[in-house]
Chains A and B, each alone.
Chain A
Amino acid sequence: MSELVFEQVSVRYGTRRSGLTAVDGVSLTVPSGHVVGLVGESGSGKSTLARSAVGLAPVTAGRVLLDGTDVRHLAGRRPLQMVFQDPYSSLDPRMRIGASISEAMPRGGGTKGARARRAEVARLLELVNLDPDRAGMLPAQLSGGQRQRVALARALAGQPKVVIADEITSALDVSVQGAVLNLVRDVRRQLGLSMLFISHNLAVVRYLSDIIAVMYLGRIVEAGPAEQVLSDPRHPYTRELLSAAPSWHTPLFEETGDPGAADPEPSDPHHPPAGCRYHPRCALGPFARADRDLCRTTDPAQDAGRRPHRAACHFAGEPAEPNGARA
C-alpha cells in the first residue's frame, strides 16, 4: 500500500515582497495503485508540485506524505522517484547508462555486490524493452525515446512505491511517444505502482490516468475520476481546456462564437487576481456577466470540497452562456 498525499502544499520562491507562489495550498491524493493525471498550462505550477514531492522544490507550507510519513523524513531509501521531461539533459553524458541505473539502486538490500547489481541492471533494461547489452553505452549513443526508457529504468531501480512522470513525452516525436506511453502503462500495471503523471496534453493524460486533476495558477481547480472530469467538466477552465484541445471533431470556430471578441491575456503568476483566480478569463464570471462580483471578491477554493469534482468555482457546473462554448 502506498499512497502519496499532498496536504495544503505551498511552494514559494523569492523574497517576501517580490516572490512567486508557484503552488498555493494544494491538496491532492495519489491513491495506491492509481494514476493521477495532472494537467494545466505552462506556469500553472504542476511541475513545481511534482518537484516539491521529491525535494527539488522547497515546500514552504503544508506537507507531502507517503503512507503517512512526511517525505522530508524519509531517510536512505527513495520510495519516490521521478522521470524528467528532457531526455537529453536527464542522463549524465559521461556516465554509462548501466552506472546511471545502478546509482539509483538502494544500498544494501537485495542488490549487494557488483554481480547482483549488474543482473539487476539487465533485468531493468529488459523491463523497459531495451537490450541489456546496452548497459555499457553512453547516453549520446541512444535516441530520445531510448533515453526516456533508460530514465524510466533508473527511476524503477530505486524500487519506488510512487513514480512521478513530468511531461515525459513532450520532447519526443509523435511516432515515438506512443511506444513510451505503452511502456509506462505496462510497467505500472506489472509493478502495481502509484503514479503522478503530468502533461499539458489532455489526450495523453486521459489515456493513462484514473483520476484527473486540473491546475490553474498554482491551485487545483477540479479533480475527479478521469472519465467524469472529461465527460462532465464542472469548472469552466476545464471546459476551456477541453474545447481548445486540437481535435478532429472540433472546428476551429464554434458557429455561434463571436470571432471579433478579443481573447483575454493569461494572468501574471506574480500577481494572481483576487477572488477566483480564473475570473478575468472565465465565461461564467464577471468578464461575461457583469453582475457576478462574487468571483472578484470571494475565493471559491474555500468550499470547493463540497462541490462535485472539488471544483473551485462558485457557479460550478453551470453551462456557459446559452450560445457559448460547448460543455
Chain B
Amino acid sequence: MQNATNGRTGRNGRAKVLAVLRTPVGGCSVALLALVIALALFAPALWGDQASAVDVDAIQQGPTAAHLLGTDSLGRDVLARVLVATRLSIELAVTATLIGVAAGTVLGSAPSVLPRWAGRIVTSAVNIAVAFPGLLLALFFAMIFGIGAEGAVLAIGLAMAPAFARLTQTLSAAVAGQDFVAAARVAGAGRVRLLVRHVLPNIGEPLVVNATISAGMALLAFAGLSFLGIGVQAPAYDWGRLLGEGLNQIYVNPTAALAPGVAVMVAGLAFNLFGETVAGVVGARASRPSQLKDSATAAAAAPAAGGGGDRPVLLVDDLRIAFPGPAGRPVTPVRGVSFTVGAGESVGVVGESGSGKSLTALGVSRLIEAPGTVTAARLEFLGTPLLRAPEPEVRGLLGTSLALVFQDPMASFNPTQRIGRQLAEVSEQHQGLSRGRALDRAVERLREVRVPAAERRARQYPHEFSGGMRQRAMIAMGLMGEPRLVIADEPTTALDVTVQRQVLRLLAQVRESGDGSGSAPAALLLISHDITVVAQSCRRVLVMYAGRIVEDLPTADLHTAARHPYTRALLAAVPALDTDRDAPLAVIPGRPPEPGEVTAGCAFASRCSLADERCRADEPDPVNVGAEHRVACWHPQDSTPRSRTSSVDTTTAGGGA
C-alpha cells in the first residue's frame, strides 16, 4: 500500500497535466481559462474604441441589435466594456495574487531560517492575522493605502498573505517532520539548504495549486472592492466597477449589472476549478471504480474440519476478495482461500504485508465494504451462511458470537466516548440490556480481562489507557456477547514484548474458558506477521503468500515437517535468540509481490530456488499431504528433519525485483 501511494508522487509532470485535462471538470476549466486569457490579451485592441464611444442618443438602453447587452448611462456599449474590462480585472487580480503569494511564502518560511525567537514572533503574528477574513484585512489596508487601483492591489495582496503564510507553515512543518529532513541535517545541510533543497520542492505543488485558487478569489475580492467604490476609479473600469454602475440601473437595463457579474463568475470559476482539479489529481485518492464482480470459480474441495470434531465454527471455502484497481482491472488480494476453524480450536495465520491475511479476517467477518467484493463457494459461521444473508439477519449472531480484536488499539476505539459506554453498546444492541445493566456488564467484563480498577477505568476515555490496557478493553468488548470465535488481527504488533505476552496469554485464556461464565470455549483465529507469536499461541498454522494459503499444518510440525519452501524460508529468516552469530542470516531474495502484480504460475516462483518451468506456468493448489497438512507446491520438500537453513539461498539478495 505504501509503495502505491509513494509511486503516485513520482509520476511525472506531463502525465499529471494529461490527467487534469482528461477529467470533464478539468477540461472545461482549462478551456475557460484559455478563453479568459485570450480576452485579456486581445479584447482591448479589438473593442477598445467601441467601449469608450459615447452615444448620447442611446443612453441606458436595453438590449438592441446594435448593443447586444444594452448601453450604460453615457450610451456606451455594455458588451464591449465587459470584454475590454477583462484585461484590467485579470491584471489586477494576478498582481495582487503575486504580491500575496510572495509575501506569504516569505512569511511562512521565515521561521525555519530565522533565529528561534524571531521565528516565534512571525508565527504568532501570522496566527493572529489569519483569523481575520481577507475582506476585513483588505478594507483595513485600503484605508491605509487610499482609494484606487494601486491601493486595492496592495490591500488585497497583503490581505492574502497571512493565509498563504499559514499554508506554507503547515505544509513545511509536515515536511520538516519527516526523517529525510533529519537525515539531511545529520548529513550536514544548513538551514537555508534544507529549506530550498528539501522543504520547498516538496510543498511547491500544493502552493502553486493554492495560488491558482487564490487568483480566482483575488479576482472576486477585487470586483468586490471596485463594486464598493474603493477599488478601480473612473474613468478606468474593471468588472466590479461595471457591476456597481449597472446595479444603479437594474430596473432599466438589468443586463448591465448581470453581464459583468457573469464575467466575474466565469473567470473566477475558471481559476477555481482549474486549481481544484489540479489539487484533485495531485493528491488523488482512489482511482476510478469498476464494479466487476468476481464470479466464484469451481470450488476446490473444502478441507476436512480440523480439531473440534463436530460442526466447525468457521468454514471458508474458496474465499476471494477483490477491489477495483487502476485502469478498470480489479485487484484480487485474496485469491481462493479455504480453511475451517473447529470449536475451541486455535488457528494462526502467518504472512508478510500484502499476503492478504488481514483482508481474509475482514472478509470472513463481513467487514469488507463496497467497492470491495467478497465471494466464496461457502462461507459459514456456526452453520449460518454469511454471504447471501442480509445484514439484519446475521447481525445478532455476529454481534454476540464473533469477537474481533484489531491491530491498533488506540485507533480502534472512538476517541470521544468513554470505554465503558463503547463496551455497553454491544449489550444494549444485541442483548436488549438497559443502559445501566449494560454498563454493569461492561465493568464486569473489564474485570474479567484484569483491567485494574475496572469501575473507574470504564468511565475513562481511550487516550487515558495504555496500549496494553486498551487491547484488554478491546478483548473485553468481544466478551460482551458469548463469543464462539475470536478473530485477532495483529493484536500485539503495536505493543512491547512484555505487554505482548500478557495479551497473548489473555487471548489463550479466553479461548480456554470462553467468557468465563462456563459457556462453550471460543475458537481463536490469530493473524500475525510473526511466526513465533503464532507458534506460541496456536495449534494449527496457515501460511499465506500473495493471497493464497500455501501451507496448512499443525504448529508442532513447523520445524520438523514444513514442506513448502516459503514456510521453510520464513522460519529460517527470523533471527532467534539461538541463531548462529557467525553465519549470515538466511534470506529470501526479492520481495513479496504487490496484490496487483500477481502473474501466472506460483507467486513464490520468482524467489524460490527450486522453481522450474511448471512453477512459472501453473499455480499449484493445496493438496493433502498428511492428516492435517495441506501444501500448495509442485516441489514440496520431504518431511525429514533438516537443518534450518538448508532449503533456501544463503546469499544476500542483490536488490530484488
Contact = CB atoms under 8 A, between A and B. Distances in A.
Direct contact of A and B (CB under 8 A): yes
B576 A248 contact: yes
A143 interface: yes
B652 A78 contact: no
Nearest to A137: B10
B579 to A, nearest CB: 6
Contacts of A65: none
B182 A84 contact: yes
Contact of A241 (B498, B588, B656): B498
A164 B10 CA distance: 29
Interface stretch (B84-92, B329-337, B527-535): B527-535
Contacts of A230: 577
Contacts of B653: 129, 145, 176, 179
Interface in A165-195: 173-179, 181-183, 185-186
Contacts of A116: none
Given A131-B655, A146-B655, A173-B352, A266 B468 contact: yes
A149 B7 CA distance: 18
Nearest to A175: B588
Interface residues of B, number: 73
Contacts of B655: 129-131, 134, 146, 149
Contacts of A138: 10
A250 B536 contact: yes
A55 B188 CA distance: 10
Contact of A246 (B496, B500, B569, B575): B500
A103 B576 CA distance: 37
A32 to B, nearest CB: 20
Interface string A79-112: 0111011101111111100001001101000000
Contacts of B584: 182, 185-186
Given A103-B189, A181-B575, A207-B585, A140 B182 contact: no
A144 B352 CA distance: 13
A240 B9 contact: no
Contacts of B466: 265-266
B577 A200 contact: no
A291 to B, nearest CB: 23
Contact of A179 (B10, B574, B652): B652
Contacts of A80: 186
Contacts of A93: 6, 9-10, 180, 202
Contacts of A204: 575
B306 interface: no
B579 A85 contact: no
B9 A140 contact: yes
A297 interface: no
Given A41-B498, A85-B179, 5 more contacts: A78-B188, A176-B588, A251-B536, A252-B536, A265-B466
Given A174-B574, A251-B536, A92 B184 contact: yes
Nearest to B574: A174
Nearest to A42: B496
Main secondary structure of the interface of B (DSSP, over half): helix
B120 interface: no
Interface stretch (B151-159, B384-392, B501-509): B501-509
Contacts of B452: 262, 265
A99 to B, nearest CB: 9
Interface in A50-90: 51, 54-56, 76-78, 80-82, 84-86, 88-90
B559 interface: yes
A207 B575 contact: yes
Given A56-B185, A129-B654, A262 B450 contact: yes
Contacts of A140: 3, 6-10
A93 B5 CA distance: 11
B515 to A, nearest CB: 16
Contacts of A263: 450, 468, 499, 502
Nearest to A237: B498
Interface string B7-24: 111100000000000000
Contacts of B536: 246-247, 250-252
B202 A247 contact: no
Contacts of B585: 178-179, 181-182, 207
Nearest to A84: B179
Given A174-B570, A179-B653, A206 B502 contact: no
Contact of A266 (B499, B587, B591): B499
Contact of A82 (B186, B352, B509, B579): B186
Contacts of B569: 175
Contacts of B183: 82, 84, 90-91, 104, 151, 154
B188 A56 contact: no
A176 B529 CA distance: 13
22 contacts: A84-B183, A89-B178, A90-B180, A91-B183, A94-B201, A95-B198, A106-B188, A129-B652, A129-B655, A140-B9, A158-B187, A175-B569, A175-B607, A178-B586, A179-B652, A186-B652, A206-B581, A244-B497, A247-B576, A247-B577, A252-B504, A253-B505
